Structure 1
Amino acid sequence: MIRRFAVASVSLAVVLGCGTLPAVAADSVPAAVTAAAPDVDVTKVKGHLNELSAIAGRNGGNRRSTGQGYRDSVAYVKGRLQAAGYTVTEQPCTSGCTSGAGPNLIAEWPQGDAANVYMFGAHLDGVSAGPGMNDNGSGSAALLENALTLAQQNPTLRNRVRFAWWTDEEQGLNGSDFYVRSLSSADRAKIKAYYNFDMIASTNGGYFVNHITSSAAAPMKAYWDSLGLRPEENTEGAGRSDDYSFEQYGIPTSGYAMGASARKTSAQASKWGGTAGSAYDPCYHRSCDTLTNINTTGLDRASDGIAYTIWQRAVLAETGGCDTAGAVANGGFESGTAPWTGDTGSIGARSGQSAHTGTRFAWLAGYGSTRTESISQTVTVPAGCTRATLNYWLRIDTDESGSTPYDRFTVKADGTTLATLSNADAGSGYVQRSVDLTAYAGRTVTLAFTGTEDSSLQTGFVVDDVSLQSG
């Protein structure tokens, strides 16, 4: 048939070693995730918030870095960590911090390769105006319960996990800046990624990931994608929280946020709910940032996403060395087009074709006229695997006849053609195809799917359910 202007969308998911993250309804937990990481109890996270609120209440209503409220917050977190078996260090900020600011708190679980460190941090201080429950009790509490959960589960770690609660963030990221500056270049090189959690329970919030298309962000985005949340880049928070201190020294960073004083767009309200035109956190830096200013659903989703990232980066890495986290983002194309680039108009759910599974796919070419369409995405092929195979389901419908290849479909990695099919390969329905990506293990490459037609007689190439299997 001649292709209509409407186009359908690609469903691309990546299975790396232990399995895919399937698209599921919000708040349900994918089987692939539950097999890897624990479900962090949000009730316990809120219990830590209750303690931080009480501390603020006993200390003038706030937990600013120079006050007793902050020092008592440090003592609470430190006590829980020490009781769980962590090596905990208070690091005084001796330069660059506000006079009288309390210490950073650093906790490390004594397992895993100390030359490969994954850091998870949140600022523990607040502003003078209020108790700072969302900013940043939410990130601090979620991080604490994740640390306690890791200790309770006590899995065998391949990589080292380090947690940090920063001082004096509200005065200019001073605590985290001091920490990174104080490290030797060799110790900075050991930190493979830093993950930051600042305001993860905004009552009118969105779902934002720092550097969402980066390799560091892959597990964070993969978890929220698995809940159907369709997260976006954290543009509001760029350069405004402690991850920036690490970025300044070339350390890869990511993290979660739900937004501060910026206003929710109509498109975001349609996607996530809430009120368009209103601030993500209407109590940002105000006295009303209390326990009533907490989005429990968002806090739960972020807490579980932190756990998933810890398990992917430090725990699952030992099972053959294949990091299975989200090599292809938005793999099913069920959540818009990002981070795909190119002819993203080919992504959608349209009449005239059907998906292999789900409702969306990518329909490349099929016009019956000279045309080339291509979609691509940057993907990190996992290292430490004996084999990496890209599988995809392809349906070829054509009005051509015979065995002459007039219209072509190609799969490329960084411009190198790995597979070519044509109208001569047309059949009835979807056929699973595969290409070998083993040579790209440990590398970040751009995978591209391209459909090209000549001037007459249409051939449509419909791609769905792509998976990268490693072993």
Structure 2
Amino acid sequence: MKLRLLTAVAALVLTAPLAPAAPALAAPGVLPGAVPAHAPYAVPAALPVTSAALAAPDVPLANVKAHLTQLQSIATANGGNRAHGRPGYLASANYVKGLLDAAGFTTQLQSFTYNSATGYNVIADWPGGDSNDILMVGAHLDSVTAGPGINDNGSGSAAILETALLVARQGLQPTKHLRFAWWGAEEGGLRGSQYYVNNLPAADRSRIKGYLNFDMVASPNAGYFIYDGDNSDGVGSGPGPSGSAQLEQVLQEYFTSIGVPTRGTDFDGRSDYGPFISVGIPAGGTFTGAEGTKSSAQASLWGGTAGQAFDSCYHRSCDTTANINDTALDRNADAVAYAVWTIATAVPPVTVWSDTFETATGWTTNPSGTDTATTGLWERGDPEATDSSGAKQLGTTVSGSNDLVTGRLAGASAGDYDVDGGVTSVRSPAITLPTGTLRLSLSWYLAHGSNSSSADYFRVSVVGATTSTVLQQPGAATDRDAAWATATADISSFAGQTVRILIEAADASTASLVEAGVDDVKITR
């Protein structure tokens, strides 16, 4: 892990927090079981994981420690370190590459130049999986010049190396494509990982749907930290790119399963996730602490000694194989394998039904013949933008040219074609649902002026043998500008039924301005 005085890399894209368990009826503005997300909605195809993932193996601690012994021997034979530009680093890279070559990985030593010396990244791809859906797992392999760097970061390097070798031993056939990386010159400022990301064509970057980073996972006075993908701790540089919260959740699931409490650690730019999050690639990982001091509260939580550093040998010559906490190393190595198996073998959701509104598919306005609105009736079309103290009807859609909108024209003023006089509704064609776990997702907005009230609303219901309201957003006496949001709901209770989706918007306040839109409705299994 590099020194704190290096410039941090800030996360660029916000991600929504995870929602609590769903009530029987949605709270206002929230779908049951939903994760509301602010536009742009960009959760990668690799996430979320599903229950179809294969169970992860136990990573043998003895094997991980054997790799550390080899890295220690390499350092001892090469001036006491494995630093960038020194012979100990290249020997370390060749050790890792040799094992991966023999195991059946496709590997390369990617060279780069930093500080007038040649550095190397080891990149290893496991054959198979969707090449457009890549899960990448990385750790930096170099040490500082002062010592052999066995905790920092032989520990992360050995943990992901043994996980990769387990992939080969089990002949894993993941749904995602698996790529492992050991970075050079991290201690000089993330030089190897930055070189890798900078030299990826944009199309190749877009194929990496998640990056997991493991840097210092066996600190002797260990803490158990997970990169805070959704900024649930509410401090520091904020959340990672959309999808980081799901990576955090997977790692959290593992530690919860073994009864080990964790705390969030910030994306502060000190390790190799930095270049990935800077280009919007979701990231996550674990960390057991560096030069920071363990607090009394942390000692009560995890044991160890309060008032002492998590790793008192951080960046020192004493960072040897004697500087390893076996329990922390064992737990974190298993966490690496759990994340890899859970994410990489998960079966992506299958689309049961979808509508982007680019063509007419049989939606019916006023299906019950009870609508009362006189203008702003739901229609499919290319919307025109309106503005009244801010955007009220969006002229841009989530995809394509058309959406469902309450009166697509702008008119001479913002209120010409908004919802007036009561309720307008539109209903989907009949949708026959299969059995299994089903989720409904849609992009939507509700906008209104400050003359609105809770009598106004936007509502989505699923109508089958019963009717369930899955989203209800009431108005309020405040200005609400239009902005696309995306939400999902569990509709598994309708499995095996033929259902319709009913969407309503209402102007039931006096002289209020109400606009609403819907796009990209989808049901997945």
Band of TM-score, shorter chain:
0.5 to 0.7
Give how far 1:282 is off: 0.7
Which structure has more relative contact order (CA 8 Å, sep 6+)? It is: 1
1:132 Cα offset (Å): 0.4
271 and 261 in structure 1: CA distance in 2 versus 1, 3 angstrom threshold = same
In structure 1, the residue matched to 2:299 is 269
User: Which residue does 2:102 correspond to in 1?
Assistant: 83
Q: Unaligned stretches of 5+ in structure 1?
A: 1-10, 17-31, 322-383, 390-410, 418-434, 440-469
What secondary structure sits across from 1:92 in the alignment? strand
Q: Distance in 2 between matches of 1:309 and 1:416?
A: 36
Question: Following the alignment from structure 1 to structure 2, what is the Cα–Cα distance between the partners of residues 233 and 142?
Answer: 21
Work out whether 1:227 is the aligned partner of 2:258.
Answer: yes
CA contact (8 A) 1:98 1:168 kept: no
Match among 167, 179, 186 for residue 162 of structure 1: 179
The aligned residue for residue 387 of structure 1 is 438
Residue number in structure 1 paired with 2:119: 102
In the alignment, what sits opposite 1:301? 331
Structure-2 separation of matches of 1:286 and 1:70: 17
Gaps in structure 2 of 5+ consecutive residues:
1-19, 23-32, 34-50, 231-244, 352-434, 441-467, 475-488, 494-523
Post-superposition Cα deviations, 1:344-383, rounded to whole Å, max 9, x if no partner, equal xxxxxxxxxxxxxxxxxxxxxxxxxxxxxxxxxxxxxxxx
Structure 2 residue aligned with 1:313, among 316, 324, 343?
A: 343
1:51 is aligned to: 70
| Pairwise CA RMSD | 3.0
Shift of the alpha carbon at 1:12?
A: 6.3
1:212 Cα deviation after fit = 4.3
SS in structure 2 at match of 1:151: helix
Which structure is larger by alpha-carbon Rg, 1 or 2?
2
Per-residue CA distance 1:130-187 (angstroms, 9 max, x = gap): 1100000000000100000001111221110100000000000010000000001100
**CA–CA separation in structure 2 for the residues paired with 1:50 and 1:104:** 21
Q: Which residue of 2 aligns with 1:140?
A: 157
- Counterpart in the other structure of 2:192: 175
SS, match of residue 45 in structure 1? helix
| Corresponding residue of 2:281 | 251
Separation (CA, whole Å) in 1 of partners of 2:491 and 2:316: 52
Aligned position for 2:507: none
CA distance in structure 2 between the partners assigned to 1:267 and 1:101 by the alignment: 44
Counterpart in the other structure of 1:70: 89
Taking structure 1 as the reference length, the TM-score comes to 0.62
Q: CA deviation at 1:93?
A: 1.1
Q: Determine the C-alpha separation between the residues in 1 that align with 2:197 and 2:84.
A: 18
What letter matches 1:314 in structure 2?
Answer: A
Alignment of 1:277-426 (within 5 A): 277-317=307-347, 386-388=437-439
Match of 2:80 in 1: 61
Residue identity (%)? 47
How far 1:238 moved relative to its partner?
Answer: 2.0
Distance 2:250 2:259 in 1: 14
For 1:250 and 1:82, locate their aligned partners in 2 and report how far apart those are by CA, in whole Å: 31
Question: Residues of 2 paired with 1:414 and 1:129: CA distance?
Answer: 58
C-alpha distance in structure 2 between counterparts of 1:136 and 1:53, whole Å: 12
Cα deviation per residue 1:297-338 (whole Å; 9 max; x = unaligned)? 1111111111111111111336979xxxxxxxxxxxxxxxxx
Q: Separation in 1 of the partners of 2:52 and 2:218?
A: 22
Partner residue of 2:207?
190
Task: Give the whole-Å Cα distance in 2 for the aligned partners of 1:65 and 1:412.
Answer: 59
- Alpha-carbon offset, residue 275 of structure 1: 0.8
2:137/2:180 contact within 8 Å kept: yes
TM-score, with structure 2 as normaliser: 0.56
Residue 139 of structure 2 corresponds to which residue in structure 1? 122
Q: Distance in 1 between matches of 2:139 and 2:263?
A: 20
Q: What is the rounded CA distance, in whole Å, between the counterparts of 1:245 and 1:119 in structure 2?
A: 13
Q: Deviations over 1:254-275 (max 9, x none)?
A: 0110010011111111010011
- Classify the secondary structure of the residue corresponding to 2:212: strand
- Over 3 Å counting, the alpha-carbon distance change for 1:415 and 1:177 in structure 2 is farther
Distance 1:63 1:101 in 2: 13
Contact 1:211–1:253 (CA<8 Å) still a contact in 2? no
Shift of 1:222: 1.1
Q: 1:111 to 1:293 in 2, by over 3 A?
A: same
Q: Deviations over 1:222-266 (max 9, x none)?
A: 11122222211113x621000011111111100110010011111
Match of 1:41?
A: 60
Contact 2:53 2:343 in 1 (8 A): no
SS of residue paired to 2:211: strand
SS at match of 1:103: strand
Q: Partner letter of residue 91 of structure 1? A: Q
Residues 67, 101 of structure 1: 8 Å contact kept: no
SS of structure 1 residue aligned to 2:147: coil
The answer (yes or no) to whether the contact 2:53–2:341 under 8 Å persists in 1 is no
Q: CA separation in 2, counterparts of 1:137 and 1:320?
A: 40
8 Å Cα contact 1:36/1:316 also seen in 2: no
1:88-116 CA-partner distances (Å, limit 9, x unpaired):
0110114xx23213211100001100000
For residues 265 and 203 of structure 1, what CA distance do their matches in structure 2 show?
15
